[in-house]
Structure 1
Amino acid sequence: MATTPIRSGSTPEVTTVNTPQKKRGKLKIFLGYAPGAGTTCAMLRSGLVAQNDGTDVVAGYINPRGRPDTAALIKGLEMLPHTGNANDGHGFQEFELDHALLRKPDLILIDDLAHTNAAGNRHKKRYQDVEELLRAGIHVYTTMDVQQLESLADIVSSITGMSVHDRIPDSVFDSADLVEFVDIEPDTLIGRLKMGKIYSNQETERAHARLFAKEKLNALREIALQRTAAQLNRIGSQIRAQAGRNEYAVKDHILVCLSPAASNKKVIRTAARMAEVFRGQFTALFVETPETKPVTEKNKTGLRENLRLAEQLGAQIATVYGDDVPGQIAEYAKTSHVSKIVLGRSPHQKRGFSKSTVVDKLIDLVPNIETYIIPYSETSFYKRSSIYLKSPVLSLADMAKTVSILAACTLVGAWFNQLGFREANIITVYILGVLLNATVTKGRIYSAICSIMSVIVFNFFFTEPYYSLKATDPGYPVTFLVMLVASFVMSTLTMRVREQALQSAQKAYRTEVLLETSRKLQQAKDSSAIMDETANQMVKLLDRTIIFYSIQQDDLSEPLIYPKKGSAVLQIYTGENEHAVAEWVYRNNKRAGATTDTFSDAHCLYHAVRGGDTVFAIAAIVMDQEEPLEVFEKSLMIAMLGECALAMEKERLNEQQQEIFMQIRQEQLRANLLRQISHDLRTPLTSISGNAGILIGNSEMLSEEQKKGLFTDIYDDAMWLILLVENLLSISRIENGTINLNLQAELMEEVIAEALLHVNRNSEKHMIQTVLEDEWIMARMDTRLIVQVLINLVDNAIKYTQTGSHITISAKRDKHMVLVEVSDDGPGIAEETKAKLFDMFYTANNIRGDGHRGLGLGLSLCKSIVNAHGGTMGVRDHFPRGTVFLFTLQAEEVSVYE
């Protein structure tokens, strides 16, 4: 069922304005391999050089750290004001992003690229502030240490024995336009530490002292040199690619498998480094299984963190749904042409009697794909045995069902016992009860309880000695064991079938939603309908309130709210703060809001509906007091928004194509008009100029009758030209939509009489009469235009009929309309001509009685004028011969005043 949007104010039709794209600023990173290497001073010196060259340079944020040389360099630069104190309690202030955007210098210097901003700032990380500055066209110089690269976190930790908390995604470093490595000898750096020139705080110095061992500094220095060389090589490759000399036409495809384990971060970073080395495509795959739903909140949080880490390292996120994890990974790897798979494996996993782990099964399924195993200490998320290690949550309803089924089986067994049935029949009843229990209860714990209790109850009631748990027959233990195993196996199979059925139903439902979305978007008529269909499908998929902002004249329109069933729409979801987040998403073409690092305090998650660099709309998903989106839901939502963007882009292209078509049509009309005018105006203009020349040169030799004839010809040709110009002006006003109708109630008798005063002077050679059903017939019209219509129709009748023909103008009431007819008894019009008679420039190859060829504008103009009055116009044959042109106008009632 579709969700009706709640419109906050009037919402105009969705349009997209293509604003000129701002030129992106350039990023230069000063890279060091350890604190105190001199990156801040090197950045400041470069900034001062640029300032001396005439560049507008400001210092956005510089952390002096109590170093005199740094403080001396800062004095030569304009400092932007800072806000607040950092959350670490050391008195550091925060970079003010909005002030920098308002100041908008050519170049801004910002220290500590990997810094984590204080709570309440727009972005969580400083590198996100830098990205917004770059999008605003501001060049940025910044500093960082090589330990702060996300993909190197594990390697650096193993070298230094310390964990760096402030890190940046490798994609930020890789996007730098220039990297300058600030080098210093390790011995010199250690000497600076001993002299107290690196840390002003002794406690901080002691905490970091173990980093300043020569062998550790040499290792970090080597890594920094390698990353700098790789970045310079990448920049050179991009330049060569832009010049048409791409050296890496064939690329590897690296696939990493996601899990909630904390050690999965190491696997992701390893895969990211491989993708960097091999210059390959990087994909992170998550296999959602039926066991994904009941995992703990800790695992959900870990999965979201690993997913975000993969995105930060440049991975394309993919999700598949299935019960067989190795099979799903292998199928995706084959269809996506993966060349290398990176997996994690715990060294503590038990093999058993066969290769039963995910890693081993995957290697067997894809023997031709290179598989890299990264060892770590935690067990696999996909290990099925872990499902049983979770603390079971008991339900009174399911326990009641279990007890009821056991009681029913016992009663049936007692009945069978009285009838003399064998014990095997009673055992079958209990196995059937276990199967039924597995079907009606949720969780394997109830099947296990039912299986064990079935053996105990059977032993208690149906084996000798009765009503005792002792078993005298030596075969009973075997019977009990077989019964217990059979119950466990059957309950397990039943639970698995039910899980697979649920999994298939969920997968079918989600696939149906996507197919339905695609179908509905194809049938949508305009951008507003596309937004409505997309929002309704998102509500159906996510079961959350959806808000859409369309783009109108380079600004956000009023929000369209699509509430989920049974939920209240709060004002805070569309308040000023939330609107500011949506505005930021539109301006920056980036997602923001809840569950992101930008405006994380917002109540909604905002995504741009975009096609390339063009944003068509902003979609907001209400996340307030809701669980974060699951991986599969998120991927489907992004796919839906992509479909929406494609549909909107198609709609925009259709509109542009229609505009181009109209422009072509107008150009064709102009070309036809010029061609017709150049041909058909030659005759009357030549006649006028020739007759005027005769009058000027030979006026004394001409008789009065000859002069009168020449004057008459000049007059006729001039009147023909005047009528033509009037028609052209009226046509242009109607085509451009600039004609204004002055509608008033007028007597048809007076309008017809006015028109007859201006018809062709040859009207005296024809019998023209007016026939009115009632002399008080009134119609609503613009008198000037309707008079022109009547003049054109009567002139046509005069010019295309023989001398002495009868022309009749009649008017009568026809319900709420006035029917006006102009009939003649001329030669008539052929049937094949009538269909095109009102087309512009159509003349049917007729030559007028006065020798002038028409432009085909008169009847087209008449129909346009009548249609503008809300009437209709047509033509029919006149009995017994001739033609009738007819049109209708809105009738008006006659008011009689005494």
Structure 2
Amino acid sequence: MKKGKLRIYFGYAAGVGKTYAMLEGAHEAQKDGIDVVAGYIEPHARPETMRLLDGLEKLPTKSLIYKGIKLQEFDIDAAIVRKPQIMLVDELAHTNGYGSRNKKRFQDIEELLRAGIDVYTTVNVQHIESLNDVIEKITGIRVNERIPDDIFDEADQIELVDIEPLDLLERLDKGKIYQKAQAYRAMQNFFTEEKLIALREIALRKTADQVNHSAVRMDKNRNSAYTKEHVLVCVSPSPSALHVIRSAARLAMAFKAEFTALYVGNAETESFSDEDKLRLRQSLRLAEQLGAKVSVVYGDDLPQQIVEYAKVSHVSKLVIGKSAEQPFWRRVNIVDFLSQTAPNLDIYVIPNGRALEETSHRKFYQLAKLHFSVSDLFKTLLMLVIVTVVGLAFRYWNFSVANIITIYILGVQINAVLTKGRIFSVISSVLSVLCFNYFFTAPYFTFVAFSPNYPVTFFIMLAAGLITATLIKRIQEQVRASAEKSYRTEILLQTNKELAQSDSVVDILEATAYQVEKLLERDIVVYPVEEGVLSEPHYFATGQSNRTLATYESYKEKGVAEWVMHNNKRAGATTSTLSASKYLYLSIRGKNQVFAVIGILMTEKSELEVFEKSVVFAILGEAALALEKEILREEQQKTELKMQQEQLRANLLRAISHDLRTPLTSISGHAKLLMESGQSLDELQKNELSAYIYDDAMWLINLVENLLSITKLDGDVELQLTTNIIDEVIEEALKHVDRHLSQHQFSLELSSEVLTAKMDASLMIQVLINIINNAVKYTPVGSMIVLSTQRLDGKMVVEVADDGVGIRDEAKLKIFDLFYTTGNRQVDSKRGLGLGLSLCKSIIVAHGGEIYARDNYPKGAIIGFTLPLVEVVLADGE
């Protein structure tokens, strides 16, 4: 479906006339015969604006009740059903009421555009996401209703509605925008001349940037050459990260560059507080909304990871935030390091206006991490007691003090391994020094030390204990992070292996669901998509879950999956679309279609972590490639089958058109001779001519029977399998064989047992006729032909043996191929098309049997086949 076009009426403040201009544009379009409907117009206390609604069709609003308040919202479903050419929807940045399908109105408008409906809408400059922090600095007001930049940047037309700030203030003073009391408050805060001038300048620049962006987009569509920039922004859970991301987005917009957001995780990521995890998710979500491609890498050396990614991804500009104050032992000048290791990289450092707030937050967070555990405290004290007892024993045995110091340091290290919190390593180190001073320095059992060397000893003990304990904790965290990363990497590799071994769409979807379930330990539901319609869902529950497919269907969430299929976007829990759902729905999609929709249970666990989400997307990407490959393979098989069928038709027509002439000419010639000379011919001559006519007619009948059988096997007709006794089938077949069989010595050697098999009797009769006729044609008159049956290894074996000239070894490999005939033909078999034995092979294989050709000793050939036997249980008395 052709996507609709978006026209935005853009202003720098409320009251500039956006809605008025939009309604005027709607009337002009209506005069041109275009179908225009007012979907939602914000009620204004401006009579001249509301009068413009007269003459326009108005779509009824949707009523919602939230906390006892009745809300009137835009009805997206009614709009799509009505489907006018142009839909008017005011207030692009509006947040929909609770219970609406989409959280934001711009998502409603995206649905309208995908449905092929053109949209007129309005928005102010302060609602654009990347400008949010700039607007906040100018006005001192934080705007909560915002739209992603790509909605604005990708608009087909921007209508800037402009008015002088002094004229706007005059309108405000006259009460044309707000009521008197509200207008007075606005003039004291937002509506000041200085702020309005700044906002107007930003709006003009943004409009100019959008025009340039549209021009570049058109050039790209024309494949014109241009220099490509790539902007990389580093994301972190810092409170200032949102400001850094918006600055990078504006830079990417200004340079018309690719935009990537990079998050570097490390061992400390797992120990983030819930607040930090929430901020990190918000930062990554903001980066996605601003058009960035999000990438996640892991490593402890942050600067080195950034440099390596920048080099591999051909980044031209790097945007980072100025870090809050670091401890002196961890202080690294990241800018200097990046400048030295990547001299060709342009680095933009964004000042952190919240440095004090971030520093205090970090200190508070470090204190919050120092959680106590009674069990770990008990382990620490117990280890201290054990070490002290060992030290007293060493002193009793006159060991040196150095050995006792080593024992205490060893105790600190063991304690670091046994306990979880770093605070217990600090406690263990401090208490070890105090115990050593109390028990092992003179005077004993006091905290006084006479020797001047002991303070140095105490310091070295404390430092050694803290350093080793810190290193052990860091190694433990790295081991845990490496194990998790290795586990997830293994899942990706296993996914690739499972998908490569899958040979059908169902197998691919099952393998994908199993891998996602294994990664997330959550219930998974999968909807295959066939010809643009959702198929029946498949439910994959974890071992701990008590949910079933029936439980899932009771939630009635299929409509969410259908929305994802039609819109090719995520929806459900943790998203802004249909967020009341219990499952997060994602599409498995290729370039031009959705192959399936997968749902992930989100009710019992929190939102997916950053790395989990990236791995899930990687798995779904692998699944999409596998599905696309499988679908292409199936289409290729269908194409090859059609080509084979067309080739078969061509070969049949070519063979038939050439070889039918001889019997038809013979029949017509002999029949004409009988009509013209019938009286002058004796009985022997008449019988001879009639025999010629009969033989040629029978040849034609057998050819037609073979052609009909081939047509039946090439189609989708199922075999009519019934249990038959082979002796009865042979008896029927002998009634229709070549009459020249009487010129040979023919005998039957049937098994004494009753042999039965599942078969299509008519087709099996055709097989026997073809094999027997083949023996008649390819053996001289008077030769021996034997038809035998027997049981062998649980199978029925049927063979036709002759003592003719036999079959060459090279011919045995091709004798069952279509249109293949041997060179050893008898005079009366020169019209063979090579259909008979090929048809026999197709029929036998379709019955689950095998057909073969071998030599008959001392001479001749044997053609036989096998069929699976069926045991028939007879009733008593039969």
Q: When the two structures are superposed, what TM-score results if normalisation uses the length of structure 2?
A: 0.93
Mean Cα displacement is larger for which, 565-574 or 494-503? 565-574
Tell me, what secondary structure is at the counterpart of 1:885? Answer: strand
Deviation at 1:312, TM superposition (A): 0.2
Matched ranges for 1:55-70 at <5 A = 55-70=34-49
Answer yes or no: is 1:768 the counterpart of 2:738. no
SS of 2:532's partner is coil
Q: Retained in 1: the 8 A contact 2:319–2:349?
A: yes
> In 2, are the aligned partners of 1:159 and 1:216 still within 8 Å (CA)?
yes
Q: Distance in 2 between matches of 1:475 and 1:359?
A: 43
Paired position in structure 2 for 1:809: 787
User: How many angstroms apart in 1 are the aligned matches of 2:836 and 2:179?
Assistant: 93
Q: Which of the residues 518, 527, 533 maps onto 1:555? A: 533
Distance 1:552 1:114, change over 3 A: same
1:159 aligned onto 2:144: no
Matched, 1:835 2:800: no
Contact 1:776 1:894 in 2 (8 A): no
- 1:661-692 C-alpha deviation (Å, 9 max, x unpaired): 22222222222222222222232233334445
Preserved CA contact (<8 Å) 1:874 1:886: yes
2:325 to 349, 353, 375: 349
What do residues 9-64 of structure 1 show as CA deviations (whole Å, max 9, x unaligned)? xxxxxxxxxxxxx2222211111121111111222222222233332221111113
Match of 1:603 in 2: 582
CA separation of 1:384/1:326 partners in 2, compared to 1, >3 Å: closer, same or farther? farther
Q: Deviations over 1:338-382 (max 9, x none)?
A: 111111115x63685996244454444434311111112334689
Residue in structure 1 matched with residue 284 of structure 2 by the alignment: 307
Structure 1 unaligned spans of 5+: 1-21
* Residue aligning to 1:112: 91
Are the equivalent residues in 1 in contact too, given 2:724–2:761 (CA < 8 A)? no
CA distance in 2, matches of 1:85, 1:154: 32
Task: Write the distance in 2 (CA, Å) between the matches of 1:376 and 1:90.
Answer: 41
- Inter-partner Cα distance in structure 2 for 1:778 and 1:125: 71
Closer, same or farther: CA 522–73 of 1 in aligned 2, 3 Å: same
Q: Does residue 177 of structure 2 align to residue 198 of structure 1? A: yes
Q: Distance in 1 between matches of 2:329 and 2:439?
A: 39
Given the alignment of the two structures, is residue 436 of structure 1 paired with residue 414 of structure 2, yes or no? Answer: yes
Q: One-letter code of the match for 2:347?
A: T
Q: List aligned pairs for 1:601-750, cutoff 5 A.
A: 601-692=580-671, 709-738=688-717, 740-741=719-720, 743=722, 745-746=724-725, 748=727
For 1:74 and 1:500, the matched residues in 2 are separated by: 65
C-alpha distance in 2 between matches for 1:853 and 1:242: 63
1:128 is displaced (CA, Å) by: 0.6
User: For residue 372 of structure 1, what is the aligned residue in structure 2?
Assistant: 348
Residues 54-78 of structure 1 deviation map (CA, whole Å, 9 limit, x = unaligned): 3222111111312112221212112
Give the distance between the partners of 1:563 and 1:263, measured in 2 at CA. 40
Q: Shift of residue 90 of structure 1?
A: 9.2
Q: Hey, what's the Cα distance between the residues in 2 that align with 1:263 and 1:290?
A: 22
Q: Is the 1:848–1:854 Cα contact (8 Å) retained in structure 2?
A: no
Is contact 1:778–1:894 with CA below 8 Å preserved after alignment?
no
Does the CA-based 8 Å contact 1:291-1:387 persist in structure 2? Answer: no
Matched letter for residue 255 of structure 1: L
* Residues 304-703 of structure 1 aligned to structure 2 (within 5 Å): 304-345=281-322, 349=325, 356-379=332-355, 388-569=366-547, 573-692=552-671
Tell me whether 1:99 sits opposite 2:75 in the alignment.
no
Contact 2:806 2:860 (C-alpha < 8 Å) held by counterparts: yes
- Secondary structure of the residue aligned to 2:828 is coil
Residue from 255, 261, 276 that aligns with 2:253: 276
Alpha-carbon distance in structure 1 between the residues aligned to 2:547 and 2:472: 43
Alpha-carbon distance between aligned partners in 1 of 2:501 and 2:791, rounded to the nearest angstrom: 44
**Root-mean-square deviation (CA), in Å?**
2.9
Residues 122-201 of structure 1 aligned to structure 2 (within 5 Å): 122-200=101-179
Residue deviations 1:254-292 (CA, integer Å, cap 9, x gap)? 111112223211110010011111111111111112222
Classify 1:576/1:461 alpha carbon distance in 2 versus 1 (closer, same or farther; 3 Å): closer
3-state secondary structure, aligned to 1:438: helix
Amino acid at match of 2:158: V
Question: Within 2, Cα distance between the matches of 1:438 and 1:773?
Answer: 84
Return the alpha-carbon distance in structure 1 between the equivalents of residues 162 and 510 of structure 2: 57
Is contact 2:530–2:595 with CA below 8 Å preserved after alignment?
Answer: no
State the alpha-carbon separation in 2 of the partners of residues 118 and 204 from structure 1: 26
8 Å Cα contact 2:771-2:800 kept in structure 1: yes
Give 2:288's aligned amino acid. E
The aligned counterpart of 1:13 is none
Match 1:291 to one of 268, 271, 295: 268
Shift of 1:717: 2.2
Change beyond 3 A, Cα 1:350–1:651: closer
Given that residues 325 and 359 in structure 2 are in contact (C-alpha distance below 8 angstroms), is that contact kept between their aligned partners in structure 1? no
**Paired residues of 1:573 and 1:604 also in contact (CA < 8 A):** no
State the Cα distance separating 1:181 from its structure 2 match: 1.4
Any idea what SS the aligned residue of 1:291 has?
helix
Determine the C-alpha separation between the residues in 2 that align with 1:329 and 1:24.
Answer: 38
- 2 CA distance for matches of 1:414 and 1:775? 96
Instruction: Tell me which moved more, 676-685 or 560-569.
Output: 560-569
Residues of 2 paired with 1:496 and 1:769: CA distance? 90
User: Is 1:683–1:852's contact at 8 Å kept on the other side of the alignment?
Assistant: no
Structure 2: distance between partners of 1:445 and 1:781: 80
CA distance in 2, matches of 1:230, 1:688: 87
Q: CA deviation at 1:761?
A: 3.4
* Larger deviation, residues 640-649 vs 759-768: 759-768
Question: Which secondary structure state, in structure 2, belongs to the residue aligned with residue 551 of structure 1?
Answer: strand
Gap regions ≥5 residues in structure 2: none
Distance 1:88 1:69 in 2: 33
Name the CA shift for 1:63/1:534 in 2 (closer, same or farther; >3 Å). Answer: same
Deviations 1:119-178 (A, max 9, x none): 121111100111111112222111111221111112222223322221100011112122
Distance 1:827 1:474, change over 3 A: closer
In the TM superposition, residue 851 of structure 1 has moved relative to its aligned partner by 5.4
2:175–2:183 CA contact under 8 A, matched in 1: no
- Offset of 1:431 from its aligned partner? 1.8
Q: Structure 1 stretch 459-468 or stretch 392-401: which is displaced more? A: 459-468
Deviation, 1:453, is 1.1
Taking structure 1 as reference, are residues 795 and 512 closer, same or farther at Cα in structure 2, changes over 3 Å only? closer
826 and 482 in structure 1: CA distance in 2 versus 1, 3 angstrom threshold: closer
User: How far apart, CA to CA, are the structure 2 residues paired with 1:895 and 1:865?
Assistant: 32
- The 3 A distance-change label for structure 1 pair 178 and 479 is same
Match of 2:211 among 228, 232, 243: 232
- TM superposition shift of 1:448: 0.9
- Describe the shift of the 1:150–1:743 C-alpha distance in structure 2 as closer, same or farther (beyond 3 A): same
Following superposition, the deviation at residue 92 of structure 1 comes to 5.7
Q: Deviations over 1:715-753 (max 9, x none)?
A: 3323222221111111111111326426354572x5444
| Aligned residue identity for 2:94 | H
Kept in 2, the 8 Å contact 1:746–1:783? The answer is: no
